[in-house]
Amino acid sequence: MTKFTDLNLNPKVLKAIEEAGYDSPTPIQAGAIPPALTGRDVLGIAQTGTGKTASFTLPMITMLARGRARARMPRSLVLCPTRELAAQVAENFDTYAKYTKLTKALLIGGVSFKEQDKLIDKGVDVLIATPGRLLDHHERGKLILTDVKVMVIDEADRMLDMGFIPDIERIFGLTPFTRQTLFFSATMAPEIERITNTFLSNPERIEMARQATTSENIEQGVVMFKASRKDREATEKRKVLRALIDLEADKCTNAIIFCNRKMDVDAVAKSLKKYKYDAAPIHGDLDQSQRTRTLEGFRNGELRFLVASDVAARGLDVPSVSHVFNFDVPSHAEDYVHRIGRTGRAGRDGKAIMICSPRDEKNFEDVERLVQKEIPRVENPLATKAKAEAPAAEAAAPSEEAAPTTEKPKRTRSRSRKKPETVEAAATEATADAPAVEETKAPEAKAAEAKVSETPKPEPKSDRRTPRSRSGGRKNDRRDDRNSNTVVGLGDHTPSFIEFSFADRPKN
């Protein structure tokens, strides 16, 4: 088995590695360090959590041990996609370079320019930065990159995928052509192969695992979730998340909960706090000092749940994360590999559970296609709980025979509506009571009814609009005319052919 002592590293670097508790390099470290020490370009592809950061910091410290940086002219440059990842690289540099006299500067957003300018003016050997802040310093005339000897792109696919391609191309144009370039990432999509071929010269390709593979130490699962109503989807989805956390309560020491949108990060964190879960949000819109405090609290064990956007999916090294919950299916399938890579690190076991709603099914198919395996389905814990409570509820409910219903029938809005039983009962009662009513009528009432029936009713007045005939008589009503054979409108002399009836026509 290869050991760090076999890799021709600086003795001071080896001493720092030994104090850090490491003896043998990981496969990506054993494959990338030797060619990097010889000055070759390196393209390293390996699963997240396999020690890619040390793969470039260790040879870089060894190569920069001799020499001294000049003011505003760093000798090496490390570009990272996020502030947190840049800060983590700086911590690794401090760990492995503590017995050397090398200096570093961390250039990230959310921090005062003044303090960063002071470090640059003194001269730094290693400059660790995000692309935006690096270009800001260069445009202000505070930074010169013509003396860069080693340039590192950490999480290369993410850097190029996040819209940093113009910035990366510009930064490469500011560095000397003779620089050594190191690319490291967990995935390397085909569409950015052209970029890597442009920036790297005859690189040593170190691919320790198939691209976009997940660690075998991570137990994966997905809950296929469907809300009862569209307007309740967010609320019910958060309820499912809390149920999953409770289900894993015995094994879940801490967890990272990933959301696609920053507004969802805040909503989920607020919901968990409301239900007494120890949680805090972290995303790009928060102040850098708050992000740093939150991340430190999570690393120190003071915070149990970290609700994060993909800003925490790349490179964050918290070795003891037991669970990862994907509140949303990631929009980019590659992000799934990075997200669940926050657990199961350094040989530990981990668990990753994802919640997939109907709108995320297409993205979920992309994830399974990328990792080339079917993610096991996990039953919704709320549905399981409902099924378990149903028999108990039926047993507790009183039977109809034991306790007949005495509830009165509900009244309908329309007073004329009656239940069929009520109508039939009323009709029966009316029929039964009819003779009795006749018999109980007073003789005076009977006499009055007889008098009313004998009184002749007045004839209705004729309608003035009814046309008169030439003889002066009024025509019958139109309804009566329909049954008459008289042809109206031709006077007393009607042609015989008009009076002919088609009903009397002989049949052939």
Instruction: Kindly tell me if the per-residue pLDDT of 259 is higher than 90.
Output: yes
Give pLDDT, residue 70: 87
From CA 113, how far away is CA 149, in angstroms rounded? 25
Asked if residues 232 and 302 have their Cβ atoms less than 8 Å apart, the reply is no
Examine domains 4-207 and 218-386 and report if their fold is the same. yes
User: Where is 394: in which H helix or E strand?
Assistant: helix 381-396
Domain coordinates in residue numbering, the chain: 4-207, 218-386
The neighbouring-strand residues paired with 153 are 79, 183
DSSP-based three-state secondary structure for 251: coil
Q: What b/e sequence results for 464-480 when a residue is b if at least 16 CB atoms lie within 10 Å of its CB, and e otherwise?
A: eeeeeeeeeeeeeeeee
Position 488 confidence tier, pLDDT thresholds 50, 70, 90? low
From CA 125, how far away is CA 105, in angstroms rounded? 8
CATH 2.40.50.140 fits 4-207, yes or no: no
Percent of the chain beyond pLDDT 90? Answer: 46
From CA 471, how far away is CA 75, in angstroms rounded? 128
Asked if residues 43 and 118 have their Cβ atoms less than 8 Å apart, the reply is no
Instruction: Kindly tell me if the per-residue pLDDT of 390 is higher than 60.
Output: no
From CA 308, how far away is CA 236, in angstroms rounded? 20
Q: Report the topology of domain 218-386.
A: Rossmann fold (3.40.50)
Instruction: Kindly tell me if the per-residue pLDDT of 95 is higher than 60.
Output: yes
Give pLDDT, residue 386: 62
Give pLDDT, residue 440: 43
Mean pLDDT of the chain: 80
Residue with more model confidence, 433 or 13 = 13
Give pLDDT, residue 423: 43
Give pLDDT, residue 216: 82
Q: Which residue has the tokens 């409301």?
A: 274
Give pLDDT, residue 499: 63
- Residues 6 or more apart whose CB falls under 8 angstroms from that of 247 comprise 381
Angle at 60 between CA 59 and CA 65, to 5 degrees: 100
Lowest mean pLDDT among 24-28, 59-63, 307-311: 307-311
**Tens of pLDDT along 280-318?**
999 878 887 888 899 889 989 999 999 998 776 665 667
Position 156 confidence tier, pLDDT thresholds 50, 70, 90? confident
DSSP-based three-state secondary structure for 86: helix
Lowest mean pLDDT among 23-27, 126-130, 310-314, 436-440: 436-440
User: Virtual CA dihedral for 387, 388, 392, 397, nearest 10 degrees?
Assistant: -20
Asked if residues 145 and 179 have their Cβ atoms less than 8 Å apart, the reply is no
Lowest mean pLDDT among 222-226, 277-281, 473-477: 473-477
Lowest mean pLDDT among 226-240, 341-355, 487-501: 487-501
**Beta strand 150-154 with 180-185: parallel, antiparallel or unpaired?**
parallel
**Tens of pLDDT along 217-229?**
899 999 999 999 9
Position 495 confidence tier, pLDDT thresholds 50, 70, 90? low
Position 417 confidence tier, pLDDT thresholds 50, 70, 90? very low
